[in-house]
Amino acid sequence: MALLIDIKHPQWMSDEALREQLLQYTPRADIRIGAEPGNLDEIDMLTVSSYYPGEALNYPNLKLIQKTGAGVNNILADDRLPESIRVARLDTSTSGAEMAEYALAYVLQEQRHLRAYHAQQARSEWRHYPPREACNTTVAVLGLGRIGQLVAQRFLDNEFKVIGWSRGRKALDGIRCHAGSDELLAVVGEADYIVSVLPTTAETRGLYDAGLFAHFNPRAFFINVGRGDQVVEPDLVDALDAGRLAGAVLDVMCEEPLPADSPLWLHSKVQLTPHVSGYRLGDAVADIAENYRRLHSGETLLHLIDRQRGY
């Protein structure tokens, strides 16, 4: 039985490059690439970055879909995905650390007014803005999972006040932890920066809508590295125009690439990046090879998704 790599994201990583890496861990494995899948009946494990609805049905003996990252919402959204097929993610602490760095970079840019200085340089203007102090600034991290905790820790290490929000209540050193929808309004109302690291599920899709933006602290910056479909984008634009929040940094959007006619592109209070905040897989690649081995030896698989819960 064989592992098929079909990443569909060549600008990020080619199927061949991942195959080469995996063969270092498991040299005798039958690992194929999307361009040359061979007999589809032999494919029992599929590794993807992007996934299209019905894709699993191409492989009659498929047992496992292994995502090359953490977000599996597109796979679980496939209503033709057979119940028997398991779905695994990667525990990507390397990309988690990169996402923490990304969020910190945008927060520090505002704390030190770097955008304002860059703009006034173009006008040959000499004007001071007092730096904002980390110890008097609250960062809320929404989603305290594997990546969210790395993000929260990075802000703690940089002496910010950190509050967090998750589904179940957590006890994390140095972080005031909130849980459940009842506590969300207070969290977004208090924070100077809201960093969202949530998975998309039935509960979080469309979470950031006009009703929630109405409770944001008007000086807040919203940084979304989770998934784009958690944001009702027209509501975000209206909220920014109405001054309900100060700005938004979006690494993920409802539709990617972002359509050319999206008002987000040219909005003065929006900064966009093309889904790059978490980039490298690092050592997590080894777990794809390990799951291939475990699948064929009947051992418990790593990082399985709870399909009912959605993450």
Q: Give the catalytic positions in this structure.
A: 227, 275
Question: In the complex, what is the shortest distance from the CB of residue 168 to ligand NDP, in angstroms, rounded to a whole number?
Answer: 3
Among 226, 249, 253, 284, binds ligand NDP (CB under 6 A): 226
- Tokens of residue 253, six digits: 């959007």
Contact 201, 172 (CB under 8 A): no
**Minimum separation from the CB atom of position 143 to ligand NDP (A):** 4
In the bound state with ligand NDP, the residue whose beta carbon lies nearer, of 188 and 252, is: 252
Exactly one of 146, 205, 267, 294 binds ligand NDP (CB under 6 A); which one? Answer: 146
Measured from each CB, the residue nearest to ligand NDP is: 145
Among 64, 81, 147, 240, binds ligand NDP (CB under 6 A): 147
Give the interface size with ligand NDP as a residue count (CB under 6 A).
Answer: 29
Please provide residue 161's backbone torsions phi and psi, each rounded to the nearest 5 degrees: -80, 130
* Binder among 225, 231, 250, 301 for ligand NDP (CB under 6 A): 225
Nearer to ligand NDP, 71 or 247 (CB): 71
- Alpha-carbon span 124 to 127, nearest angstrom: 10
Q: Is the dihedral of CA 210, 311, 55, 4 positive or negative?
A: positive
**143, 222, 229, 235: residue in contact with ligand NDP (rule CB under 6 A):** 143
> Does residue 303 belong to the site contacting ligand NDP (CB under 6 A)?
no
Cβ proximity to ligand NDP, 113 vs 167, nearer residue: 167
Quickly count: other Cβ atoms within 10 Å of residue 152's Cβ.
28
Q: Does 228 bind ligand NDP (CB under 6 A)?
A: no
Length of the chain in residues, anyone? 311
49's CB contacts (< 8 A; 6+ apart) are 7, 8, 9, 12, 13, 67, 68, 69
Q: How far is the CB of 310 from ligand NDP (least distance, A)?
A: 7
CA–CA gap between residue 300 and residue 76 (Å, rounded): 20
Residue at token pair 């634009």: 237
173-202 binders of ligand NDP (CB under 6 A): 197-199, 201
Q: Please check whether residue 9 is in contact with residue 49, taking contact to mean a CB–CB distance below 8 angstroms.
A: yes
The angle subtended at Cα 95 by Cα 10 and Cα 254, nearest 5°, is: 65
Q: For ligand NDP, what does the binding mask look like between residues 271 and 290, x meaning CB under 6 A?
A: ----x-xx------------
Q: Identify whether the C-beta of residue 213 lies closer than 8 Å to the C-beta of residue 187.
A: no
Q: Which is closer to ligand NDP, CB of 150 or CB of 245? A: 150
Q: Least distance (Å) from ligand NDP to the CB of residue 54?
A: 22
Residue 75 CA to residue 191 CA, distance in Å, equals: 33
**Residue 168 in contact with ligand NDP, rule: CB under 6 A:** yes
Instruction: Give the contact letters, 44-83, x = binds to ligand NDP (CB under 6 A), - = no.
Output: -------------------------xxx------------
Strands 193-196 and 138-142: parallel
For residue 208, the minimal CB distance to ligand NDP (Å) is 12
Spatial separation of the C-alpha atoms in residues 116 and 261, rounded to whole Å: 27
Alpha carbon of residue 7 to chain centroid: 17
**Which residues of the chain form contacts with ligand NDP (CB under 6 A)?**
69-71, 95, 143-148, 165-168, 197-199, 201, 203-204, 225-227, 251-252, 275, 277-278, 311
